[in-house]
A = this chain, B = another copy of it.
Amino acid sequence: MAELVHMIDSEVFLAFSTYATIVILKMMLMAPMTAYFRFSRKAFANPEDTGLGKTAEERKKMLRSDPDVERVRRCHQNDLESIIPFVLIGLLYSLTGPDLQSALLLFRVFVGSRFCHTVSYVMPLPQPSRALSWLVGMVVTLCMAYRVLTTALHL
């Protein structure tokens, strides 16, 4: 991390920006997907969202939890728990001046693993497809964290 100023204007940082943005957009996609399932399953969390119901009774019935909606929400939650650490640690990692090929490999594997995770979760595919895709993403983030700690350690 001796030459941060130089590194920040590097291909690694451009690659990081690209993959981080793509994977954050994927995470943001879960919100409209939740909305889609809420409308198609007629399962809402807030009374003010049940305007589609005609009678008061019908509206009350729409205030329920639905397994498909909950599944998408759990997938979204897992994205928050996995993608945000990747982006934050990845930003620091990009500033440690890693080799471009290694960095690209890590970024690509992570983004791929998260798309696999979402498909495995929402379809759902049989286990261990979801567990493995989650694990691959975690390992990538741990690799980057290891490099940050070995390059920049200042306790």
Task: Enumerate chain A interface residues (CB-CB to B < 8 A).
Answer: 1-5, 8-9, 11, 13-15, 17-18, 20-22, 24-25, 27-28, 30-31, 45-46, 48-49, 51, 70-71, 74, 76, 80-82, 84-85, 87-89, 91-92, 95, 124-127, 130, 134, 138, 141-142, 145, 148-149, 152-155
In the complex, the answer to whether B28 meets A14 with C-beta atoms within 8 Å is: no
In the complex, the answer to whether A127 meets B81 with C-beta atoms within 8 Å is: no
Chain A interface helix/strand/loop/mixed: helix
- Report which residue of A11, A49, A155 has the largest number of chain B beta carbons within 10 angstroms of its beta carbon: A155
In the complex, the answer to whether B87 meets A81 with C-beta atoms within 8 Å is: no
A88-B20 CB under 8 A given contacts A31-B138, A141-B28: yes
Q: Give 26 A-B contacts (CB < 8 Å), ordered by A residue.
A: A2-B9, A4-B8, A5-B5, A5-B9, A14-B153, A15-B154, A15-B155, A17-B95, A17-B154, A18-B152, A18-B154, A20-B92, A21-B92, A21-B145, A21-B149, A24-B88, A25-B142, A28-B81, A28-B142, A30-B81, A46-B71, A48-B127, A76-B81, A87-B88, A88-B88, A91-B91
In the complex, the answer to whether A11 meets B81 with C-beta atoms within 8 Å is: no
In the complex, the answer to whether B130 meets A48 with C-beta atoms within 8 Å is: yes
